[in-house]
Amino acid sequence: MGSLQSTLIQLLQGFKFTFGIFFFTLIFSIPLGLLVSKGRMSKIKIVSLIFQLYISILRGTPLMLQLLLVYFGPYYIFGVNLGSIQLGPFNYRFIATIVAFSLNYAAYFAEIFRGGIQSMSKGQYEAATVLGFSKMQTYFKIILPQVVKRVLPSVSNEIITLVKDTSLAQVLSVTEMFTKASAAASAQVSVIPFIVAGAFYYVTNLIIEQILNRVEKSMSYYS
Amino acid sequence: MPETKRDVVLEINKVYKSFDDLEVLKGITMEVKRGEVVAVIGPSGGGKSTLLRCATTLEKVDAGKIVIGGDVLCEDGVYCDKKLEKQIRSKFGLVFQNFNLFPHFSVRRNITEALIHVHKKSKEESEIICSQLLAKMDLTEKADAYPCNLSGGQQQRVSIARALATNPEIIFFDEPTSALDPELTKGVLNVIKELAKEKMTMVIVTHEMSFARDVADRIIFMDGGVIVEEGPAYELVTNPKQERTKAFLAGY
């Protein structure tokens, strides 16, 4: 069973990247999504329109295409060669992947956050205003905590989808788990690597699901 | 020398307010003295709530003057700076029709949050104030409960406690019992009656006519964006002068 062992080792090496894409995308896309939702809700028409267009395009085109565009765009369009960039352990491939994923997921998160923020009753803002809370205090103490609770189920959906979407980084030859599994499958002429990879994705999501369920439960003390 | 009179807590002078083409307030002038309880009655859409919302900074007037606790909130429709506005907000409390408690905070935190983070009182001091108010509202055992586990009447009493916590000079009530059944209404009205006995200055928009008659010193009847009639509470309810007032009161 030497081949299964080597498959596991290869996939685990790939999993580092898979997890890296997942982790950094979440770190960047959630705050970015919050900003985009703010822009989308701006009272200034033109600002709102720009962010609406952003969301429309990022949601309306394939993520795979966006990955390729972020990676090749700078060179093909502007003649700028970024290929040699290295940020600590991260090469340009990986950075481009994170950029594309973050921009894409921010668009989805923005709409989820917008839904959550707009579902808050005007009365909450008014009560906070009359009590003397500043705009920042109102947002961070009163509104955001309630929005988090409301959007969590939808955000959970996106988080779980993101784990699986990491496999798209294959188009940029990022050596994440799916790339490794494909390579192993063709080398061994076997579907076992795919099945093992599938198990990895599933177990990862199972763990994430449990964590999210716990977070949701921790906020169920009020309705 | 001072333009504002010391014993007047709220002064509203020729206030106008429109929403798009709809003129809702057409030159309202009224005064509330310290310790006075004023009830504002009238049909829906008559401008009562808008008047209250203008007085509590939730709506901006188009023209006119509002003075609260000696500070000029606006004059000729021009508002004071943000700093003074914030200071003015600490001089009044507002109790909403649908409570607007913060659902993610416990009863205690609903009451203490503004004390700690707006009025910069210590946690200990804030909690002492909170306990006293909850005792007064007969809600001591609910301090750690969340609003969703309280009845509507209890929620409204918490929101009255929240409005009282910052020791305001005047409290506005916007139809405080309209979302409650008659049983719960009684409890909330009793609390307001108690406050009236303590000489708390209050402006109450209400449809509870007998309550207004018994508790208020003065009643203002509003319709069509103007004050149609005002006078001592008992007299206005039992012996209205204006036809419009008569017609409205006949419905009760």
Q: B96–A133: do the CB atoms touch at under 8 Å? A: no
User: What pLDDT shows up at residue B2?
Assistant: 47
Residue A198 and residue A175: Cα distance in Å, rounded?
16
User: For residue B35, what are its two tokens?
Assistant: 């310790």
User: Which residue in chain B has the smallest CA separation from A137?
Assistant: B117
pLDDT of residue A11: 86
Which percentage of chain A shows pLDDT scores above 70? 99
Yes or no, beta carbons of B57 and A130 under 8 Å apart: yes
Q: How far is CA B40 from CA B48, B189, B216, B219, B252, in A?
A: 7, 15, 9, 6, 15
Q: What pLDDT, on the 0 to 100 scale, is given for residue A88?
A: 74
Among A119, A130, A134, A139, the strongest candidate for a mutation testing the B interface, having the largest count of B CBs within 10 A, is A130
Portion of chain A with pLDDT greater than 90, in percent: 68
A100-111 per-position pLDDT tens digit: 999 999 999 999
What are the residue ranges of helices labelled H in chain B?
Answer: 48-55, 82-89, 107-117, 123-136, 152-165, 182-197, 209-215, 233-238, 243-250
pLDDT for res A80: 75
Find the mean pLDDT for residues B32-45. Answer: 93
pLDDT in tens, B129-144: 999 999 999 999 999 9
Query: Residue A120 pLDDT more than 80?
Result: yes
Helix-helix angle A192-218:A177-188, to 10 degrees: 160
Q: What is the mean pLDDT of residues A190-219?
A: 92
Query: Contacts of residue B117 in chain A, CB cutoff 8 Å?
Result: 133, 137, 141
The whole model's pTM is what?
0.87
Q: Do A126 and B98 touch (CB under 8 A)?
A: no
Return the minimum-mean-pLDDT range out of A26-35, A178-187, B35-44, B226-235.
A178-187
User: Mean pLDDT, chain A, as a whole number?
Assistant: 91
